[in-house]
């Protein structure tokens, strides 16, 4: 949207006080995210009511979910753009400035076109590559398939072309995302084809790291494992949302990977890709979750030992099958279970951190630390931006996007302190 607006002659500013129009791009997959989106809109609604903005548009999942109701509830909103209509953002903005109230909400069928004027909002040295849209998994707790529609993949050539362009602009790390990356290509090539895409990405000159997020456990096959093992550019890191460790609950969630299957997949990854870091996400408090189920989850955590993890409390979302399920778990119970699971995971993260002290690793520098001018923040293969910890290095001369070799000197629960080492060039 930023690229389209810029190409239409608009100036993009990051300071709201210099803006004529604000476009709020929203999330609404759980109540907390929707609330955060609404809070942001309300901040700008005040400016709009005071006449300090000429227009306020809301895009993405929130309007896709709540439709024109959103404009009724927050009358300062001039127009809405659903998840299928990002391509019409210029038209929406012009309509809004012309006093109309655009509401573009048709079926979510949007897919980033081959040549899109993309503006990257992350630092230049890394970018998210959205390789597809939509999901067919229909997990019982998830509203995303209704908001984003079925799987649509971007052709390999389109992704490669975008990657080459981003590399020219300084990208060194590409983070491959989609609602489910392991379904990539199923619609275009007759079968899931993530490995095919990764193979091509690895050939892009100047791209150093490829990081895969949101892989569905039962679709991590031997081909993908072997590719990760044999391709230095694919970092030894995999985000593999598992959600639970009790088969009874996994079935109720409509997840298509059993506990044993997931243990097997993680075992395969650990065997063939030594040193791999696994990130996962888990849900506690899903309807019907008993103490026994939760114990199974804790036991599962001990077997899988994910180095990185997030635990989420089940969010009861209207429009999902789980909304009407019996035996909803009381909030206090879910809170307690989340706390216990987080503690168990923190212990694993701490032990992993300690095991790295003294080791040598290659990092990419993100930039100066917020805490001290003398320190820079960096990440290794084991840290994805935003969600994982950081590696702090006491050398302020290092520049964003630069690679450096460091020795890990100290580890806290999630973060690390490291010193530069000369002459060490590992692949990861």
Residues engaged in binding ligand SF4 (CB under 6 A)? 135, 137-139, 142, 144-145, 179-180
Min separation Cβ 180 and ligand SF4, Å: 5
Min separation Cβ 184 and ligand SF4, Å: 13
Tokens of 409: 């000197």
Nearer to ligand SF4, 207 or 384 (CB): 384
Min separation Cβ 386 and ligand SF4, Å: 18
Nearer to ligand SF4, 179 or 349 (CB): 179
Min separation Cβ 69 and ligand SF4, Å: 23
Min separation Cβ 273 and ligand SF4, Å: 23
Nearer to ligand SF4, 62 or 142 (CB): 142
- DSSP per position, 392-428: EES-TTPPTT-EEEEEEEEE-SS-EEEEE-SS-----
Choose among 426, 428, 420: nearest CA to 237: 428
Instruction: Note whether 164 and 200 are within 8 A (CB).
Output: no
Nearer to ligand SF4, 58 or 139 (CB): 139
Nearer to ligand SF4, 135 or 273 (CB): 135
Q: Residues near 14 by Cβ (< 8 Å), separated by ≥ 6?
A: none
Instruction: Note whether 415 and 391 are within 8 A (CB).
Output: yes
DSSP state of 329: P
Min separation Cβ 33 and ligand SF4, Å: 13
Min separation Cβ 137 and ligand SF4, Å: 4
CA atoms within a 13 Å half-sphere pointing along the CA-CB vector of 365: 22
Choose among 194, 176, 198: nearest CA to 186: 194
**SS3 at position 238:** strand
How far apart are the C-alpha atoms of 256 and 53, rounded to whole Å?
48
Nearer to ligand SF4, 137 or 402 (CB): 137
- DSSP per position, 288-346: T--HHHHHHHHHHHHHH--SEEEEEE----TTSGGGG-SSPPPHHHHHHHHHHHHHHHH
Nearer to ligand SF4, 250 or 334 (CB): 250
């Amino acid at each position: 949207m930023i690229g389209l607006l810029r190409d239409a002659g608009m100036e993009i500013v990051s300071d709201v006080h210099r803006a004529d129009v604000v476009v709020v791009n929203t999330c609404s997959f759980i109540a907390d995210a929707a609330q955060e989106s609404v809070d942001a809109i309300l901040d700008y609604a005040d400016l709009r009511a005071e006449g300090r903005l000429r227009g306020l548009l809301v895009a993405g999942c929130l309007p896709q979910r709540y439709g024109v109701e959103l404009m009724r509830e927050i009358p300062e909103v001039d127009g809405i753009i659903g998840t299928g209509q990002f391509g019409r953002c210029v038209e929406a903005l012009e309509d809004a400035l012309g006093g109309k109230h655009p509401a573009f909400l048709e079926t979510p069928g949007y897919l980033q076109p081959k040549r899109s004027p993309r503006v990257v909002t992350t630092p230049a040295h890394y970018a998210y590559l959205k390789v597809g849209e939509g999901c067919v998994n229909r997990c019982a707790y998830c509203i995303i398939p209704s908001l984003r529609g079925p799987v649509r993949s971007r052709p390999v050539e389109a992704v490669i072309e975008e990657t080459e362009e981003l590399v020219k602009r300084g990208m060194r790390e590409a983070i491959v995302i989609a609602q489910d990356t392991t379904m990539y290509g199923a619609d275009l090539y007759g079968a899931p084809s993530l490995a095919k895409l990764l193979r091509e990405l690895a050939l892009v000159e100047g791209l150093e790291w490829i990081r895969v997020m949101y892989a569905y456990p039962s679709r991590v096959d031997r081909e993908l494992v072997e590719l990760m093992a044999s391709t230095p550019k694919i970092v030894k890191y995999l985000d593999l949302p598992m959600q639970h460790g009790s088969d009874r609950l996994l079935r109720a969630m409509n997840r298509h990977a059993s506990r044993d299957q997931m243990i097997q997949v993680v075992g395969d990854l650990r065997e063939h890709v030594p040193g791999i870091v696994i990130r996962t996400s888990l849900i506690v408090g899903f309807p019907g979750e008993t103490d026994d189920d939760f114990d199974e989850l804790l036991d599962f955590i001990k077997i899988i030992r994910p180095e990185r993890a997030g635990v989420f409390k089940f969010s009861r979302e209207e429009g999902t099958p789980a909304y009407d399920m019996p035996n909803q778990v009381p909030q206090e119970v879910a809170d307690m279970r989340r706390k216990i699971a987080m503690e168990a995971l923190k212990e694993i993260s701490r032990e992993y951190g300690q095991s790295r002290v003294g080791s040598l690793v290659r990092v990419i520098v993100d930039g100066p630390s917020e805490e001290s001018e003398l320190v820079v923040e960096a990440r290794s293969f084991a840290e994805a931006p935003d969600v994982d910890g950081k590696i702090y290095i006491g050398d302020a001369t290092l520049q964003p996007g630069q690679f450096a070799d460091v020795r890990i000197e100290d580890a806290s629960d999630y973060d690390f302190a490291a010193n530069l080492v000369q002459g060490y060039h590992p692949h990861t």
